Amino acid sequence: MGKKVLKLGIVVGVLGIIYIALSWTNTLRVFTNASTANEPTLAYKSKMLLSNIPTPEIDDFVSYRVGDTLFGGFIIFRLVAKEGDTLEIKRGVLFINGKNTDIDRNLDYSFVLPKTKHDSLVKLFKLDQHVAFLIGSEHDVYIDLDLEAGQEYGLERVLDTIGQINDDVRWAYNKPWNKDYFGPLVIPENKFFVMGDNRDNSYDSRFRGFVDKSDVVAVVIWN
């Protein structure tokens, strides 16, 4: 019995050392999602596997270094454009090289939920899932839903207007753009452009600027 316990302890210890080594080198690591920025695809507090073995491709979720402590040194977003691509956002829809690339993605947006509809609609939503209610005006609140659900319930999407300037966007690109009217912009050499799937509640490349390819440390391979 003692030898079996000893052997089991050795195996567990060796596996632990291997996992630490894999995590330290980003070859394979388990990550707990601490953000709602990529919902509904990457749920808040969900577990995922990351690896630096795959080469980042369009549509991958990538983990990259950031220079502030707010995000713990690393952050995850979806890679939507690479060097040489022309990116433009029109009425909140992402176009890469003239093609609507949002059409096949399951994305969340913010919708206006009038107080007159609140009591009847709130019963339909499971609040322990990815749906979030945000403070709006005195008469309305905002709710995060996918486009199909928002349209089904006859809700109006929260959109910035043409000419409305976002200070963070202007700081990053020196252009009078906002999250819903952005570009056109050609992605520079050795840069990536990333965005969150929770489009109206994601502090991504629209506000933070480009991602250096050298700062990408891993790709999400399972979630």
Question: pLDDT digits over 67-81, tens only?
Answer: 765 555 789 999 999
d(CA 83, CA 156): 34
95: helix, strand or coil: strand
Give which of 194, 183, 100 is closest to 147, Cα–Cα: 100
pLDDT above 60: residue 141:
yes
Share of the chain above pLDDT 90, in %: 59
Q: What mean pLDDT do residues 111-121 have?
A: 72
User: What per-residue confidence (pLDDT) applies to 26?
Assistant: 55
User: For 66, which DSSP code?
Assistant: -
User: What per-residue confidence (pLDDT) applies to 140?
Assistant: 72
Q: Model-level pTM?
A: 0.83
User: What per-residue confidence (pLDDT) applies to 192?
Assistant: 98
Q: What mean pLDDT do residues 108-120 have?
A: 77
Structure tokens at 112: 């206006």
pLDDT digit string, tens, across residues 184-206: 999 999 999 999 999 999 999 99
Q: What mean pLDDT do residues 123-139 have?
A: 51
Cβ contacts of 60 within 8 Å, gap of 6 or more: 54, 78, 79, 219, 220
For the chain, the straight-line distance linking the first and the last C-alpha, in angstroms and rounded, comes to 39
Structure tokens at 197: 């799937």
